[in-house]
Structure 1
């Protein structure tokens, strides 16, 4: 068996799209509870762009190779795998890194058996986005039926997942924002959101207050962070509401004159969170919740697994460019033949 494999690398360790290339690297060896997976497909995420540019802190001991979600076939095990898996099993899962490659060694605690109803490409786009949405909604924001919720970047993969979860689990209202009318229509007509607002042409916070008779929304899931969104989140949140921040696409600085009085007036909370930095036990519990709560809905088609583009991994530069252009509605997936 070869000691090397092909994987996507970055010339110079960090750089633009053009720095991505495929090269030979050492093949991982599974230890402990790990399985060695021959990868069929992997999903792209915005964190991959940040990591490629050198702006994303990779967890300690994580592979330097990009990629955290994948689908494939188990080829070998360490000495302490979960008993529910065997060699030859078709699986998909979440990793701390290393998915842009022919093989990955990953804990069996983060694997899920691939349903026959779903393709390799669909399964490769599930773990990061659906688990992130589940974590933000339930564990951090404490969502319960009857609460209202707003998802920023409504056509992003995490929000596509979150909007569907919110609708299925009886939110009183589900709102979204996007920067294009087409994406707002998509959030409403395809995903089932109550309403969606164009952040370029509308005062979305004012629209949320109008739609809720001045109450605001109970939960806001935000990927933007800084800039004007911080203030508008405080304007749009309801009393005792929770704002969950998962990203900093709007930067880390707040405009002069930002008014934080809502923290006291509304008794609201602002919580930062991430998934990749969590330990294996935490992620494993989220995997279990995904399997119990969402997997049956994937299999029977109630939840839509939306893929914008599938490319062979030799076109990894094109795949990253698609994400950078911010025109996608759904996942970008790469396949390995």
Structure 2
């Protein structure tokens, strides 16, 4: 037996419980990871509340990323061995002492990061790279607007964009968070509670607008996001309010702009493998060089997953909240 965090019905953070579960055995294409730490993401909060449909076949329980040591390897797996220190993108079940991961979604732990820092890397790195790099095509010399620039995804997006030579404008909801966004590398940080971010973005770009936007807010920001785009700009929506909204097609057409809306968790295995391969090739070297650093706000034992969720839901965190699985084995 081993242990994992589970919940029997949707509800507040208190529904999360650390319980005994059967030890998972890897399929031919999988490795088993002895988890040292697991990152918490907004998708986990939505799943716990019953607002995030779990993809068919996903492992039981919350948790979309982890870091640890491989302790079993499937029969068809090449390139990974027992004892390798890794981090992994998961479809679920990461809040656990042991977890299975497809070998194609596993990355070597960056030397520059601790296990706790590495646990918060896979989901944000894959999200940012797939959306800003692969879809929006952000390159050096361009300008990007990152909403939530002090959060888990936003803090990584700011650092990655600066590392590749882009100019970064970030939004955040307090003076402390705009300061944090600047510390991560944002050239301009806008407190959206005090300023209209679209007007401020146009001022910061001399009226040109930005080449790409990474949006976690959704429908309420759609109109102002379009206003903030430069010619040939690209808006990528990765979360937030997803209800019906109005899109002014002329505003989009007149900018020759485009809009994408994506989810990472439900992507087919082949797409996830391609994204992870891109992160290994293009992003991890930036992490190891120190251009991108781990950003962890707080660490909790697995047994206190509920407290960790409550903290993330408070909206006060900067960077990631992470669960430490080693505390349960002491």
Q: Same fold (TM over 0.5)?
A: yes
Return the match for 2:6 from 3, 6, 9: 9
Distance 2:293 2:113 in 1: 11
Asked if residue 133 in structure 1 is aligned to residue 124 in structure 2, the reply is no
The alpha carbon displacement at 1:115 in A equals 3.9
User: Is 1:234–1:260's contact at 8 Å kept on the other side of the alignment?
Assistant: no
User: Is 1:43–1:67's contact at 8 Å kept on the other side of the alignment?
Assistant: yes
Asked if residue 108 in structure 1 is aligned to residue 103 in structure 2, the reply is yes
1:15-54 Cα shifts (integer Å, max 9, x gaps): 1111111112222211111011111110000000000111
Residue of structure 2 in register with 1:238 after alignment:
230
Q: Which contiguous aligned blocks of 4+ residues in structure 1 show a shift greater than 4 angstroms? A: none
Q: Structure 2 length normalisation: TM-score?
A: 0.95
Distance 1:268 1:118 in 2: 37
The alpha carbon displacement at 1:300 in A equals 3.3
Unaligned runs of at least 5 residues, structure 2: none
The alpha carbon displacement at 1:259 in A equals 4.3
Distance 1:105 1:332 in 2: 22
The alpha carbon displacement at 1:122 in A equals 1.1
Residue 100 to residue 211, structure 1, CA distance change in 2 (3 Å): same
Asked if residue 305 in structure 1 is aligned to residue 301 in structure 2, the reply is no
1:206-246 Cα shifts (integer Å, max 9, x gaps): 0111111211111111011112x111111111122110000
Aligned ranges for residues 39-118 of structure 1 at < 5 Å? Answer: 39-82=35-78, 84-118=79-113
Q: Structure 1 length normalisation: TM-score?
A: 0.93
The alpha carbon displacement at 1:281 in A equals 2.1
User: Is 2:163–2:286's contact at 8 Å kept on the other side of the alignment?
Assistant: no
The alpha carbon displacement at 1:302 in A equals 2.1
Residue of structure 2 in register with 1:183 after alignment:
177
Residue of structure 2 in register with 1:268 after alignment:
257
Distance 1:316 1:122 in 2: 17
- Aligned to 2:69, the other structure's residue is in SS state strand
Count of aligned pairs between the two proteins: 326
Unaligned runs of at least 5 residues, structure 1: none
- Aligned to 1:261, the other structure's residue is in SS state helix
The alpha carbon displacement at 1:71 in A equals 1.0
Distance 1:71 1:211 in 2: 39
1:304-324 Cα shifts (integer Å, max 9, x gaps): 211101111111111001110
The alpha carbon displacement at 1:251 in A equals 4.8
Asked if residue 159 in structure 1 is aligned to residue 154 in structure 2, the reply is yes
- Aligned to 1:294, the other structure's residue is in SS state helix
Residue of structure 1 in register with 2:243 after alignment:
252
Aligned ranges for residues 314-333 of structure 1 at < 5 Å? Answer: 314-333=303-322
User: Is 1:11–1:21's contact at 8 Å kept on the other side of the alignment?
Assistant: no
Distance 1:72 1:187 in 2: 29
